[in-house]
Amino acid sequence: MLQLILGGARSGKSRLAEKLAADSGCAVIYIATSQPLDGEMSERVRHHRERRPEHWGLIEEPLELARVLRDNARADTCLLVDCLTLWLTNLLMLEDPQRLSAERDALLECLAELPGEIVFVSNETGMGVVPLGELTRRYVDEAGWLHQALAERCQRVVLTVAGLPLTLKGTAL
């Protein structure tokens, strides 16, 4: 089953995704896309690590998400990807403008063939003010297009607000 958990900053989306992974009955591998480049981000990463069970696997991959999913998806495994918008940011910051579309296409193409459970976490950024800068507008556009394409392929899509899940597609939580 493919699931997409969306929400704003501190909405409870990661906590919900972690609960879904823990309740899946499968071995869990947490796929972290962040690159802690400053103290504040390092603190966020530390907080997430402390919250996760020690027996969960961990893969840190900021760019090649499709490859990691193909290499690790198993019928008895739940892959938790946190988070797609950090992954998108990593790709947007590269000097190779074609890399984003190549990695996004690879991700979307591999989903149908992946066994097991996969839970994606992503920030919903399209509900706020349109950003002033070109790069931030592109980020919001790319995130919106990615979310639409993923939501189309996922069996369940949940929007999380104030720690409360609102099921947009699939069986309610």
Neighbours of 83 (CB within 10 A): 21
- Given the residues 47, 48, 55, 147, select the one marked as catalytic: 48
User: 173 is written with which tokens?
Assistant: 């939580």
Strands 117-123 and 77-82: parallel
Which residue from 128, 25, 114 is spatially nearest to 76, judged by alpha carbons?
Answer: 25
Residue among 32, 118, 119 at smallest CA distance from 82: 32
Residue 55 is among the residues annotated as catalytic for this protein? no
Q: Are the C-beta atoms of 146 and 138 separated by less than 8 Å? A: no
Which is nearest to 79 in space by CA: 31, 20, 13, 25? Answer: 31
Q: Which residues, listed in sequence order, are joined to residue 30 by a DSSP beta bridge?
A: 58, 80
Q: Which residues are annotated as catalytic?
A: 48
